[in-house]
Amino acid sequence: MIWQIVGFGAAFLTMFGFLPQVIKIYKTKSVGDISILALFQFVIGILLWLLYGLHLRNAVIILANSVTLAILIVGVTLYFRYRKKK
């Protein structure tokens, strides 16, 4: 029971861990301090976790990483929308 709570807590924090950054990007319309390389690395890592969860048929892993991936896709989209062209 305790480990399920730990797992759900970890999933919840991971799912919404990047959301404050996406909100900040949206509000400020600034991505100057965002590393696109780190963002893509995070996207790839979450995608691999999602594939792993699908392989295991583990609902918690699938849900957590699906939500995280959706938030990251919004972040990447905003990055390309608001980046300054040089």
Supply the DSSP symbol for 17: S
Task: Report whether 69 contacts 16 (CB < 8 A).
Answer: no
- Rounded to 10 degrees, what is the CA torsion of 48, 51, 56, 57? 140
What pTM value is reported for the model?
Answer: 0.86
Residue 57 main-chain phi, psi, to 5 deg = 60, 45
- In CATH terms, the fold of domain 2-82 is Monooxygenase (1.20.1280)
| Placement of tokens 């040089």 in the chain | 86
> What string of pLDDT tens digits covers the 86 residues of the chain?
898 889 888 888 988 999 999 999 999 999 988 899 999 999 999 999 999 999 999 988 999 999 999 999 999 999 999 987 65
**In 3D, which of 85, 76, 82 has the Cα closest to residue 28?**
82
